[in-house]
Amino acid sequence: MLGVRGIVTFRVRLTGAVAPLHSGNWGGVAPNPAWRLVRLLASMRAPDGTVLIDGAHDGAEPLSASERAAIEALPAGAGAVLKNLGVDVMEPPAGLGFHERLARPTFTINSLTCEDAGEHRTIIPNVAVAKCDMRLVAGQRAADVKAAILRHVASREPAAEVTFGGSMEPHRTLPETLYTQAVIRGARAGLGEDPLVIPALGGSLPIAEFGDALGIPCYGIPLANADERNHAPNENMEVDRFLRGVSGAAGVLLALGGVL
């Protein structure tokens, strides 16, 4: 993996009355913060996947020719992957390949709640909360994305409370970087098979400080099984993958030692 996407996490909270209200006695009378929240979220992304938050994608750099060539060399098609996930279509927009999508910015709703404790009560909620994240690509900066989110929310729901969680900057390592071929050779020797070269990890890691501040190119070598269920129940790593990872890491270190 040549570099990573960055991330900005945030929460949007809207309130209504001082307490939940009976939806029969107060329906059509008391304002519902849940409807205000879903309208706000709908204003942030179009049905075709376009992010409508003005300025959120400012600076995002397109893939270079060498990065596109790396993507084109990867196995095509994501049908089997989608089937294992239990879905048959990818997110909009249409016409983009699996790996190209992982090199683009995203806007994700992680959860929606009205703080109902899991019960179905016929009420008008007094609180509605959305937890979201945006993945960033090279050229974007977390501070600019945060500012864009605040402006968008303030212009449509001034009473909404926006709080930010963790954030990381994106980092980009181009395929033609000095150490790329050494990493590939080392991974091949240590893992016993040809590695695939992917322009960016879809997730985020705090490596921009090394790449941007110190000028050190950064690489990721995924060692776990593809169905490790990151951040989900039963997150796992197969023992064989762990053991192969030891030899894979050793191979890369030995190869880099021949370059440095």
DSSP assignment string, 194-253: PPP--SSBSS--S-HIIIIIS----B----S-TT--TTSTT----HHHHHHHHHHHHHHH
Query: pLDDT tens for residues 42-98?
Result: 999 999 999 999 999 999 999 999 999 999 999 876 777 788 788 888 889 888 888
Of 170, 193, 225, the one marking the end of a domain is 170
DSSP code of residue 71: H
In a shared domain, residues 154 and 126: yes
In a shared domain, residues 124 and 229: no
Note whether residue 35 is domain-resident.
yes
Whether 33 shows a pLDDT value over 80: the answer reads yes
Note whether residue 133 is domain-resident.
yes
Query: pLDDT tens for residues 216-246?
Result: 899 998 888 888 888 888 999 999 999 999 9
CATH code of residue 101: 3.30.70.360
Domains held by the chain: number = 2
Exposed/middle/buried for 171, CB within 10 Å: 0-12, 13-18, 19+?
A: buried
**Residue percentage of the chain with pLDDT more than 70:** 100
Note whether residue 68 is domain-resident.
yes
Q: What is Dmax (Cα atoms) for the chain? A: 76
In a shared domain, residues 85 and 105: yes
Of 127, 144, 170, the one marking the end of a domain is 170
Of 170, 195, 226, the one marking the end of a domain is 170
| pLDDT value at residue 64 | 95
What is the span of the domain harbouring residue 43?
3-170
In a shared domain, residues 130 and 148: yes
In a shared domain, residues 166 and 202: no
Mean pLDDT of 176-183: 94
In a shared domain, residues 22 and 129: yes
Mean pLDDT of 16-37: 95
In a shared domain, residues 19 and 104: yes
DSSP code of residue 103: T
pLDDT band at 213 (very low <50, low <70, confident <90, very high): confident
Beta strands in 139-181 (DSSP E): 161-168, 171-172
**Hey, how many other C-beta atoms are within 10 angstroms of the C-beta on 214?**
8
In a shared domain, residues 18 and 128: yes
Cα distance from N-terminal residue to C-terminal residue, the chain: 20
CATH code of residue 234: 1.10.150
Note whether residue 158 is domain-resident.
yes
Which of 18-22, 81-85, 164-168, 241-245 is least confident? Answer: 81-85
In a shared domain, residues 81 and 158: yes
Note whether residue 237 is domain-resident.
yes
CA angle, 12 as apex, 6 and 14 as ends, to 5°?
A: 175
pTM over 0.85: yes
In a shared domain, residues 83 and 17: yes
Whether 257 shows a pLDDT value over 90: the answer reads yes
Query: pLDDT tens for residues 103-127?
Result: 999 999 999 999 777 788 899 999 9
Note whether residue 78 is domain-resident.
yes
**Residue percentage of the chain with pLDDT more than 90:** 74
pLDDT band at 27 (very low <50, low <70, confident <90, very high): very high
12 or 259, higher pLDDT: 12
Note whether residue 118 is domain-resident.
yes
| pLDDT value at residue 109 | 97
In a shared domain, residues 100 and 216: no
**Hey, how many other C-beta atoms are within 10 angstroms of the C-beta on 225?**
12
In a shared domain, residues 75 and 135: yes
Note whether residue 175 is domain-resident.
no
CA Rg, the chain, in Å? 22
User: Whose CA is closest to 195, among 203, 204, 186?
Assistant: 186
